[in-house]
Amino acid sequence: MIARVLVLLVVLCAGPAPAQQNVRVPLEEGGRAIQLAAQLFRPAGTVAAPAVAILHGCGGPGQNTARMAGLLASWGYVALVIDSFSARRLKDVCGRNWPSQADAEARAHDIDAALAWLGKQSFVDARRLAFMGYSYGGGVAMLRALSPQSADIAPIARAAILVYPDCALADPLGARLAVRQPTLFAMGALDDWTPVSQCQAVIDRVVQGRDLIVTRVYEGAHHSFDALGLPVRHLPNVGNRSKPGGCCGAHYGANEAAWKAFVADVKAFLARVFAT
């Protein structure tokens, strides 16, 4: 009985859960129209809110993207988690057949489609949009953040958040890079899948907008430091662009201290960007 009362009190005292909805985001690709599945998280209230489009990693949408979307909604943002895989009949591309450069560049248009869709919603403030990517999706988001095409997106994103991004995807972009919006790099110091050194090499090539970059490196953290409850382990067969030939093996797993610091950094970063 006491346990039931405690559970009831928790339910009654908890704030309203962010509204969630399955939606479809249209995209033109290769001369055909496809519909990207997506999960929409909305904050309480009727005022048009800033919005963040979220791209998942090589394993598809997961608990980490849903958890972050829920947090964003609790902070007053609309969050849209894009499923880049199901419409393309993909499930998991973490293995030896690691996504190619062309795959990543094509997927960058998912961000364009997501921002365009968000910008048309009455509950979104189209002047305050951002995009966010994890791991492989972080590398894709990085391509969009660095690409000259980013200035042509309507509506234009105000910020980018790159979470342990695959920075090797920037290798073909040349020696002189430009950043056009505030961009947060969030990385684990012990990451051997998408190592800090690769991202630092990208940042070192930025000759325009360098002051827009914010870098956070979390000590003691591996790849997927936000995978709460998952002990660090080694995956011997995953593709790894940071190794010769792109193969194989990497560590990943949670670090609660890094996760908490990361959440605080994202919250502060977005508050600052959207306040201006």
Q: What is the pLDDT along the chain (276 residues), one digit of tens a residue?
A: 333 333 333 333 344 556 789 999 999 888 889 999 999 999 998 899 999 999 999 999 999 999 999 999 999 999 999 999 999 998 888 886 778 888 888 899 999 999 999 999 999 999 999 999 999 999 999 999 997 554 455 568 999 999 999 999 998 988 999 998 999 999 999 999 999 999 999 999 999 999 999 999 999 999 999 999 999 999 998 988 888 888 889 999 999 999 999 999 999 999 999 997
pLDDT for position 19: 74
pLDDT for position 95: 82
pLDDT for position 7: 35
Of 8, 156, 261, the residue nearest 269 (C-alpha): 261
pLDDT for position 102: 87
pLDDT for position 186: 98
pLDDT for position 1: 38
pLDDT for position 31: 84
The CA distance from 276 to 32, in Å, is: 39
Look up the pTM and report it.
0.90
pLDDT for position 18: 61
pLDDT for position 17: 57
